[in-house]
Amino acid sequence: MKELSRITLDPAIMGGKACIRGLRVTVGTVVGLLAAGRSPEEILQAYPYLEPEDIDQALAYAAWRVEEREVALDTL
């Protein structure tokens, strides 16, 4: 997977949720807006400090997380 340098995780920001460049805008917010039918242009107008690459990386991060799978290990 390519590096997602614009996605940050910091326990002191938004409770450790994945955010865009340390800002208080979560990946979930961006993906949720896209899922609700907002265009990238509308999101950039609503959040003028975001950049098109932020939206691209938010989608890439969300897709990567959906593909993750946790498997419980049996302990002896």
**Considering the domain boundaries, does residue 76 fall inside one?**
no
Q: For the segment 32-57, what is each residue's pLDDT rounded down to a tens digit?
A: 999 999 999 999 999 999 999 999 99
**Considering the domain boundaries, does residue 71 fall inside one?**
no
**Considering the domain boundaries, does residue 21 fall inside one?**
yes
Total domain count for the chain? 1
pTM of the model: 0.84
pLDDT band at 11 (very low <50, low <70, confident <90, very high): very high
Query: Residues 67, 43, 69, CA angle at the centre, nearest 5°?
Result: 10
Sorted by sequence, the CB contacts under 8 Å of residue 65 that are 6+ apart come out as: 18
**Considering the domain boundaries, does residue 75 fall inside one?**
no
**Considering the domain boundaries, does residue 2 fall inside one?**
no
Taken in order 19, 24, 29, 30, the sign of the CA dihedral is negative
